[in-house]
Every structure is written in structure tokens, then in C-alpha cells.
């Protein structure tokens, strides 16, 4: 059905956002500045597309230009993308800066100028060549570079894991693509289900490749639809049930088509982890069964002539397979072979936190923050629409350059929040603040003023380069401050871009316990901070947790799901997460935990 292929290739807002993101990074490289007029124009256009509630591609060019921030030049590129599936300007930039070269811009401390000098003077076009030049001490021969910068780049390369075949993609870059593909596959005729599996479903911070499993009575049609996708830069495997392709950024996607009756067995298999699968398989064998990507099957008698298993114990759903194996369902983020099978056998996974348990968001910005993009009224409305029982509005404190608000502005902000409260009798609004933890643990405002906020989250936004001892002392000082209710994005890391501050987690966790301060799990895919392994240690010790979106725009509330999945990866039980508590219990904790 070629006709259908065309319909499925239809462009959506997320395709446009992906195109603009690529234009932003390549133009930054080209113009050697992220502040150039063009980059800012693309940036504003992206905000406009993100803010537009419908499918932007259904607008005419004229209608697009009427949107705030979207200019004529960008509108015509969007139109070009819709009509032709590609954008000439982008193709030109890609030719000039191929993906293997462009991705070097992700290395902290390597700006566009340096990058271009590396290519011009040393013929460095990819990570391997950069590594070789570092080993040969050639980088120090470039202008403004020295032995110190070589060391910094080498360290950064190690930390963000960008070498050769081991190169991994940050989850924030893989997730939108995977979600978009699954959504498109679900719309195909004869498709009954589709799911991304592998490390992405397990919420690994970095992804080797994306694995998608599609259930269909017509696998060949699925394969054809995959080959037709815009995202395909190169097909690497083309089979009857599996197609693998590379995107423009070099990310591999494996799509497998299976029959609907095998879907559960297939997603279980391809979700992994490998170690989890091995443990499940040996459990199956002990029961006289086999487990593979087609199902949980009865092993034929040893003396039977045909050794092909025919009798199916379970296959269609993961739940049925776990159940047959005598296990509670194990959520994907826990499938890392770190005790989850024993726990599921004991049947004690039911108290694990779920998205539906969440009753509020406690790290939330409005346009009172310099980087906030939606009004207080709009931000409150979407939280109310999400059904929240409480909401802490935590705009940036005054110490954050440009984005913060001084005491006077915060008081006016409080007036507005309390006014808007009148329109939302079912949701308690808290006038909060995201405090900045200074280099030695100091916080914004005078102590008396800071104490006035209804709720606070204190976070690190600067000074990433101190020793572990200093950073730990710094955090403990903030935790000990009686005005602090929670610690936001613990290490300040940006996955794949910036390592977080180094902390002695044992000391930190004890401090959180002692002062009864909640530890945030930040749902932004760039952060997922505190990380799942830290969460698990905090859970074991009994530290209170809070899962937040850190939204700066009305479109960002979906991050709560990623936060919850990260909490599951850290084995967080519902009752330990303060924003699963009902309104009374939560408000009473906020009012009393630092005074009693």
C-alpha cells in the first residue's frame, strides 16, 4: 500500500522540533556562536513550535508566521520539510559538518572555533582522530590550547563516553525519537501493539541503540513502513522481520516485527537486561520449560522425535510469563539482575511508586524565572488539569544571574500566586523558591526572608569544579539550613554533556536523614538526578524522596513519568515519596519537619 506509506511519512511537530534542534547545533558551529541572530531565531521558532498545542505542520506558512517567535525564513523551512521531507539548508550544513564531526561539539570545553581549528590544522573529523591527536599531544599546538586543555578534553571524553563503537547516546536524545516511531507504528494497519524495549525502556542514562518491537499480522508491511521513515539515513539490516537503520546523528534503531501472540515474549526478551533474561530462562528450565522470544514453552520429552516445542505456557503478555514463572510483574527499569527476581518471588513489588500515585509537583517554574516560559495562571492551570492536589511554584532565587528574582519581586509574585489560588479550591498552591546553593553552601536572601517561603528546593547551579570534600560540605551546609525542604537535581549533571559534582553519598544521605530533607528525582531527561543508583541507596537508608518535573513551560509536565521510572529503577516505594501523600499529610510534613 504505497498510498499508506505516504500518509505515515507525514510530518509532525516533533519532526519539526528535531529539524530545528539540528539546525541550532549546526548553525552554532557554523557561526561560531550560540548567540548569533540566526541561532536565536531558530531557538525562538522552536519555542513557538513547542508551545503550539496542535500539529504545526497543518498550518499554512502565513498562519505559522502569526505565531510569536516564528519568522518567515523558518516557516518556509518547515513548509519545505513537510513538502519534501528534507530541508536544503540543513542538507548543506550536514554536508559541511558531517555527524561524526558535529558531535564533537558535545565535548565540554571544545567550542566551535577550537573544533574548526582541529579540523583545519590537524584533520580531525571524528572522535577516533581526536583521541589519536590527544595521544600524540597535538592539540596543544593549536591557538589558545595547552597541555592542560588536552588533559581536560581527554577527561571529558572519558566521562561522556564518546569513543568508537562504545559511543552511547544520552537518553534525552533517544527518547523523543523512540516515542515518535512507536506512535507512528501504532497507526499502521494490522499493528496491534508497539513498544520500545532495550536499555531505553529500562531507563538507562545512555543508550547503545534503540530497540522497537512491533506486533502485527503483517510483518512485511511494518518493515516497509520503517524503510519509508524520514529518520532513516542508512539501512544496515533489511530482513523480513527485522530492519536496522542509522539516523543522521549515527544512532542505530532496530525494529522487529512479531506476531501479536508472541508480543509479550518478544518485548520481555528485547527489553533485557541480558542478565535478567538469563535468570528468567534458568528459572523456566527448572520448571521444565523453555523461554525465548516466542514464548514460555513446554520442553518436549527427551525421547520425542520432534524436539520443536509446540505447547505454549504463556507468550502474549509479559504479565502472563512472569505469573507462570511464579513472579510478580517486574517493571522494566528494575530488570538489571540486582535482586529483583528474588523480590518478585517474595511478592513485594506492589508498593513500588507508580505514576498514578503522584499528587503534586514540587519544583515548578513560571515566567517569574528568566528562563520560565509560561505565565503563572497557565502553569497552574495545567497542573490543575493534571489533577494535582498541591503545587509548589519554585521560581529561581535572586542569586541566579538573570533568571532569579529579588525579595521585592518575590513578594509581588506571592500576591499573584495567592490570587490565582482563589480559582483553584481543590489544589493547594505553595509560594516557593528554588534556592541556589553557593560555593560553600550559602543560600539566597536574608535568613528571615528565606524563612517566609511556603516551600523550598535548594539546588546547585554553579561551581561544578570543587573537590569532593568541598562539594559534600557545601551540600551538607545547605541541607542543615532550616529553611530548606528539599534538594533539587543533586549533582547538577547534564547526561552526556556535563558531569555532576562529586559527592560522598554516605555522608550526604546521612545528612538528608538527620535533617529530614527530601531528595529530588528530577524528571528532565537531561538530568534524571538524583541518579537511580543514588536513589536506591537513599531508599535503603529511608531518606524521603520527591519526584518533580522542574517544568519551565506548560508542555513539560510529561517529565513526571520519566521521574517515576527513574524512581522505580531506584526501587523507590510509594510511601517514601512525599508527593504521593495526600494533601493533609504532605502539608503537615512541610509545616512541621524542620521545627520539631
Q: Which parts of this chain interact with ligand DGT (CB under 6 A)? A: 198-199, 204, 207-209, 211, 269-270, 272-274, 277-278
Give me the least distance between CB of 458 and Zn ion, in Å please: 11
Residue 209 touching Ca ion (CB under 5 A)? yes
- 404 binds, options ligand DGT, Zn ion, Ca ion, none, Cβ within 5 to 8 A by partner type: none
Is 254 an interacting residue with respect to Ca ion (CB under 5 A)? Answer: yes
Binding partner at 270 among Zn ion, ligand DGT, Ca ion, none, C-beta below 5 to 8 Å by kind: ligand DGT
Quick one: how far is CA 298 from the chain centroid? Answer: 40
Q: Which of 373, 46, 473, 11 is nearest to 228 (CA)?
A: 11
Among 550, 557, 569, 579, binds Zn ion (CB under 5 A): 550
What is 514-559 written as a DSSP string?
HHT-EEEEE--TTT--S-HHHHHHHHHHT--EEEE--BSSTT-TTH
Q: Work out what residue 383 binds among Zn ion, Ca ion, ligand DGT, none; the CB cut-off runs from 5 to 8 Å by kind.
A: none
Report the residue number, 201 or 527, with the smaller CB distance to Ca ion.
Answer: 201
The three-state secondary structure class of 78 is helix
Compare residues 18 and 197 and give the one whose CB is closer to Ca ion. Answer: 197
The item of ligand DGT, Ca ion, Zn ion, none sharing an interface with residue 434, based on CB under 5 to 8 Å by kind, is Zn ion
Report in angstroms how near the CB of residue 246 gets to Zn ion at its nearest. Answer: 35
Q: Does 309 bind Ca ion (CB under 5 A)?
A: no
Q: Contact between 128 and Ca ion (CB under 5 A)? A: no
Quote the CA–CA distance of 563 and 528 in Å, as a whole number.
7
278 binds, among Zn ion, ligand DGT, Ca ion, none (CB under 5 to 8 A by kind): ligand DGT
Q: Peptide bond before 353: cis, by omega within 30 degrees of 0?
A: no
Task: Candidates 130-138, 253-261, 340-348, 442-450: pick the segment binding Ca ion (CB under 5 A).
Answer: 253-261
- Please choose, from the candidates 252, 169, 101, the residue with its C-alpha nearest in 3D space to the C-alpha of residue 495: 169
Nearer to Ca ion, 245 or 455 (CB): 245
Interacting residue with Zn ion among 205, 316, 434, 444 (CB under 5 A): 434
Grid cell 517514601 in the structure block, residue: 576
Of 144 and 165, the one with the shorter C-beta distance to ligand DGT is: 165
Q: Which is nearer to ligand DGT, 94 or 242 (CB)?
A: 242
- Least Å distance between CB 191 and ligand DGT? 21
What string of DSSP letters covers 238-267?
E-SSEEEEE-TTS-EEEEEEE-GGGHHHHH
Q: Are 524 and 551 in contact (CB under 8 A)?
A: no
Residue nearest to ligand DGT (CB): 272
Minimum CB–partner distance for residue 209 and Ca ion (Å): 4
What is the phi/psi pair of residue 491, to 5°?
Answer: -100, -10
- d(CA 491, CA 155) in angstroms, rounded, equals 18
Which of 435, 319, 385, 436 lies closest to 554, judged by CA? 385
**Grid cell locating 318:** 509479559
Interaction between residue 211 and Ca ion (CB under 5 A): yes
Tell the smallest beta-carbon distance from residue 207 to ligand DGT (Å).
Answer: 5
- Which of Zn ion, ligand DGT, Ca ion, none binds 272 (CB below 5-8 Å, type-dependent)? ligand DGT
- Closest to Ca ion by CB, 132 vs 237, is 237
The whole-angstrom separation of Cα 259 and Cα 247 is 26
Residue 330: name its binding partner from ligand DGT, Zn ion, Ca ion, none (Cβ under 5 to 8 Å by kind).
Answer: none
Q: Are 158 and 182 in contact (CB under 8 A)?
A: no
Smallest distance, Å, CB 276 to ligand DGT? 8
What DSSP letter does each residue of 91-158 carry, written as one string? Answer: HHHHHHS-HHHHGGGGSTT--HHHHHHHHHHH---SHHHHHHHHHTT-GGGSTT--HHHHHHHHHHHH
Q: Using the minimum distance from each CB to Zn ion, give the nearer residue, 22 or 434.
A: 434
Are 297 and 309 contacting, i.e. CB atoms less than 8 angstroms apart? yes
What sign does the CA torsion over 51, 57, 58, 59 have? Answer: positive
Binding site for Zn ion (CB under 5 A): 434, 550
Binding site for Ca ion (CB under 5 A): 198-199, 208-209, 211, 254
Amino acid at each position: 500500500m504505497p498510498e499508506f506509506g505516504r500518509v505515515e511519512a507525514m510530518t509532525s511537530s516533533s519532526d519539526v522540533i528535531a529539524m530545528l534542534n539540528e539546525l541550532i547545533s549546526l548553525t552554532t558551529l557554523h557561526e561560531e556562536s550560540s548567540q548569533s541572530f540566526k541561532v536565536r531565531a531558530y531557538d525562538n521558532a522552536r519555542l513557538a513550535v513547542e508551545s503550539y498545542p496542535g500539529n504545526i505542520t497543518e498550518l499554512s506558512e502565513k498562519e505559522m508566521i502569526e505565531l510569536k517567535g516564528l519568522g518567515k525564513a523558518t516557516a518556509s523551512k518547515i513548509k519545505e520539510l513537510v513538502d519534501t521531507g528534507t530541508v536544503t539548508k540543513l542538507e548543506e550544513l550536514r554536508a559541511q559538518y558531517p555527524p561524526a564531526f558535529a558531535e564533537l561539539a558535545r565535548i565540554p570545553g571544545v567550542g566551535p572555533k577550537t573544533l574548526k581549528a582541529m579540523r583545519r590544522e590537524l584533520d580531525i573529523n571524528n572522535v577516533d582522530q581526536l583521541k589519536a591527536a590527544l595521544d600524540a599531544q597535538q592539540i596543544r599546538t593549536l591557538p589558545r590550547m595547552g597541555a592542560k586543555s588536552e588533559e581536560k578534553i581527554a577527561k571529558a571524553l572519558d566521562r561522556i563516553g564518546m569513543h568508537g563503537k562504545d559511543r552511547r547516546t544520552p537518553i534525552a536524545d533517544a527518547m523523543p525519537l523512540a516515542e515518535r516511531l512507536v506512535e507512528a507504528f501504532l497507526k499502521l494497519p494490522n499493528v496491534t501493539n508497539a513498544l520500545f524495549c532495550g536499555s531505553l525502556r529500562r531507563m538507562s542514562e545512555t543508550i547503545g541503540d534503540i530497540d522497537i518491537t512491533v506486533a502485527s499480522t503483517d510483518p512485511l508491511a511494518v518493515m516497509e513502513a520503517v524503510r519509508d521513515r524520514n529518520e532513516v539515513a542508512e539501512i544496515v539490516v533489511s530482513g523480513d522481520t527485522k530492519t536496522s537503520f542509522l539516523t543522521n546523528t549515527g544512532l542505530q534503531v532496530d525494529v522487529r516485527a512479531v506476531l501479536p501472540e508472541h508480543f509479550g515474549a518478544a518485548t520481555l526478551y528485547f527489553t533485557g537486561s541480558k542478565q535478567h533474561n538469563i535468570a528468567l530462562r534458568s528459572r523456566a528450565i527448572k520448571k521444565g520449560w523453555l523461554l525465548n522470544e516466542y514464548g514460555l514453552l513446554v520442553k518436549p520429552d527427551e525421547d520425542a522425535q520432534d524436539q520443536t516445542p509446540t505447547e505454549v505456557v504463556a507468550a502474549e503478555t509479559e504479565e502472563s510469563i512472569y505469573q507462570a514463572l511464579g513472579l510478580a510483574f517486574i517493571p522494566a527499569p528494575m530488570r538489571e539482575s540486582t535482586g529483583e527476581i528474588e523480590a518478585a518471588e517474595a511478592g513485594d513489588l506492589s508498593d513500588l511508586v507508580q505514576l498514578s500515585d503522584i499528587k503534586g509537583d514540587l519544583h515548578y517554574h513560571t515566567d517569574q524565572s528568566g528562563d520560565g516560559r509560561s505565565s503563572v495562571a497557565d502553569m497552574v492551570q495545567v497542573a490543575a488539569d493534571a489533577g494535582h492536589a498541591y503545587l509548589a511554584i519554585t521560581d529561581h532565587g535572586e542569586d541566579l544571574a538573570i533568571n532569579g528574582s529579588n525579595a521585592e519581586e518575590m513578594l509581588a509574585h506571592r500576591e499573584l500566586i495567592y490570587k490565582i489560588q482563589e480559582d483553584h479550591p481543590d489544589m493547594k498552591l505553595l509560594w516557593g523558591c528554588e534556592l541556589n546553593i553557593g560555593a560553600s553552601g550559602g543560600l539566597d536572601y536574608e535568613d528571615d526572608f528565606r524563612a517566609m517561603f511556603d516551600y523550598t528546593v535548594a539546588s546547585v547551579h554553579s561551581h561544578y569544579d570543587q573537590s569532593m570534600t568541598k562539594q559534600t560540605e557545601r551540600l551538607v551546609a545547605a541541607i542543615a539550613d532550616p529553611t530548606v525542604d528539599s534538594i533539587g537535581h543533586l549533582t547538577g549533571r547534564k547526561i552526556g554533556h556535563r558531569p555532576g559534582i562529586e559527592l560522598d553519598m554516605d555522608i550526604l544521605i546521612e545528612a538528608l536523614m538527620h535533617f529530614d530533607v527530601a531528595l529530588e528525582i528530577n524528571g528532565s531527561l537531561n538530568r534524571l538526578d538524583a541518579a537511580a543508583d543514588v536513589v536506591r541507596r537513599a531508599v535503603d537508608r529511608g531518606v524521603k524522596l520527591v519526584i518533580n518535573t522542574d517544568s519551565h513551560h506548560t508542555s513539560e509536565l510529561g517529565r513526571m513519568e520519566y521521574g517515576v521510572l527513574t524512581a522505580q529503577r531506584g526501587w523507590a516505594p510509594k510511601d517514601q515519596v512525599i508527593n504521593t501523600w495526600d494533601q493533609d499529610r504532605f502539608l503537615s510534613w512541610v509545616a512541621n519537619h524542620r521545627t520539631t
